[in-house]
Amino acid sequence: MINQKLLFARAYEKEGCAEIPSEARPRFHMTPCVGWTNDPNGFSFYKNQYHLFYQYNPYKTVWDSMHWGHVVSDDLLNWKYLPCAMAPDEPYDSDGVFSGSAVELPDGKQLLMYTGVLKEGGDHGKDIQTQCIAVGDGLDYHKYENNPVLDASDLPEGMSRNDFRDPKIWREADGTYRCVIGTRIPEKEGAIILFSSPDGFQWKYESILIRNDGRFGLMWECPDFFELDGKHVLLCSPQDMLPDGFEYHNGNGTLCLIGQMDGERKHFSYEHHQSVDYGIDFYAPQTTLAPDGRRIMIAWMQNWDTCDQQGAQERKWFGQMTLPRELTIHNGRLYQKPIRELDQYRSNKVEYKNVTVEGNVTLPGIEGRIVDMEITIRPKDKDAMYRKFGVWFAQNEKFKTTLSYKPYESTLKIDRKCSGSRRAYIHQRRSLVPAKNGEVKLRLILDKFSVEVFVNDGEQVMTATFMTDIAAKGISFFADGQVEMDITKYDLFAEE
């Protein structure tokens, strides 16, 4: 039986979605059917398709009562809306169906594990957060009658039942299940805890996988934990981070820890830490394993601190997901590449080699807002280092978004202050990018209202959204000094 609240949401979104023309959305970045989205949830491959659920308020373009929206895709780029999967319609989740994940059961059903939220003592009370389950067929999901499956009584002494959320579930080779969940241990803040289950329904506390110990922000949200290239990787999104050099500038940021599990597979220690993304808009990444073995990550392409200043209220949708990215580890660091499925949508190749950039330069055929563009730069004369190189895009007489590189500082900067915003929120971010043999390689993916810059073959990524009028399609280059540049540019999805 589908609950009234879910039926209502499904009817509402159907109408709302029909009112949004496809031109008003990015071409291949997932946006909510209508209303608001934040975290990606339940990212999975199930019944021969990728499924992506998302934190969703269909009724307004602001965060409020959380539902799970639902889309599917064959190629991770063309998303089809399915009916809203879950509404906050049970006593244990009436204040929100918060983030979670998905796994396929041996009987072919799909299990969703999520955080149910109930406010203690009414609207202004504190959250009671518990872990809940729903089972379905890829379209309709039924909440488990014994929900919640994990609550405060499953937590060791001292761990917060108010901050206990975002289960990421997986199946072990022996058919049993594990999940990691974020919580708070008050004196030293965030921790990730590990649970186990024989069947996905009955859960047992195992261990503190890792605790923050005051190092990275406060509460750790949205953990993900997996093996990659012989290491274990923990991704999570710490709230309230302090910047550390060029790392962790986003307030609510993202953290990647690379290391090892202990012999008992209960504790994780890290050898390396880094931000997942060095731009402005990136939070709550979640990964899945593709059938061909690739570890693919998608994240919310937004920054919590700027949502209410980006004109959300005036739009019919707000919030988008990043391009899905393939993850690998090289030299102990996390590398990211755009999923290779994107290559099939490249067309209208325009290529220039050894172009001298000095002052401002435009090149015939280089423009557009749905673009995949690879640029390699080096000094024209090795003995005369240039002072600055830049590319302007989403540009016309009024607007431009800028990516610039200063070789003397080894810094790459994204700057969106002239990108349609009338507000003074954060518009710039810099990242430390040492040149490799004198060269810097940049791959820029533009999809109308965002740029994702993959630096030096994916060693770093900088992501930012902007609101520039879609008519601003210009792309040009500038250099203080002399730069030699190779460029290959494609339109994406050009058939439209």
Residues assigned a catalytic role = 39
Binding ligand FRU (rule: CB under 6 A), the pick from 31, 37, 55, 419 is 55
Integer Cα distance of 252 and 144 in angstroms: 32
Binding ligand FRU (rule: CB under 6 A), the pick from 43, 68, 92, 98 is 98
- Does position 221 bind ligand FRU by CB under 6 A? yes
- Asked if 44 contacts 290 with a C-beta cutoff of 8 angstroms, the reply is no
Give the nearer residue to ligand FRU in terms of CB position, either 276 or 472: 276
- Does position 57 bind ligand FRU by CB under 6 A? no
Q: How many positions of this chain bind ligand FRU (CB under 6 A)? A: 13
- Does position 320 bind ligand FRU by CB under 6 A? no
- Asked whether the bond before 148 is cis by omega within 30 degrees of 0, the reply is yes
Binding ligand FRU (rule: CB under 6 A), the pick from 6, 32, 33, 38 is 38
The size of the chain, in residues, is 496
Residue 55, judged by CB atoms within 10 A of its CB (0-12, 13-18, 19+), counts as buried
Give the nearer residue to ligand FRU in terms of CB position, either 100 or 390: 100
Integer Cα distance of 217 and 259 in angstroms: 20
- Does position 31 bind ligand FRU by CB under 6 A? no
- Does position 10 bind ligand FRU by CB under 6 A? no
Cα four-point dihedral sign 112, 113, 119, 124: negative
Q: Which of residues 369-398 bind ligand FRU (CB under 6 A)?
A: none
Give the nearer residue to ligand FRU in terms of CB position, either 319 or 368: 319
Give the nearer residue to ligand FRU in terms of CB position, either 90 or 221: 221
Give the nearer residue to ligand FRU in terms of CB position, either 117 or 451: 117
Binding ligand FRU (rule: CB under 6 A), the pick from 72, 111, 194, 222 is 222
E strands, 201-345, in order: 204-211, 220-228, 231-238, 255-261, 268-274, 283-289, 295-300, 317-318, 325-330, 333-338
- Asked if 480 contacts 463 with a C-beta cutoff of 8 angstroms, the reply is no
Residues forming a β-bridge with 488: 351, 374
Supply the DSSP symbol for 345: G
Tokens 């431009």 correspond to what residue? 400
Per-residue binding string, ligand FRU, 255-284, x by CB under 6 A, is ----------------------------xx
Minimum Å gap between C-beta 295 and ligand FRU is 21
Which residues are at the interface with ligand FRU (CB under 6 A)? 38-39, 55, 66, 98-99, 115, 165-166, 221-222, 283-284
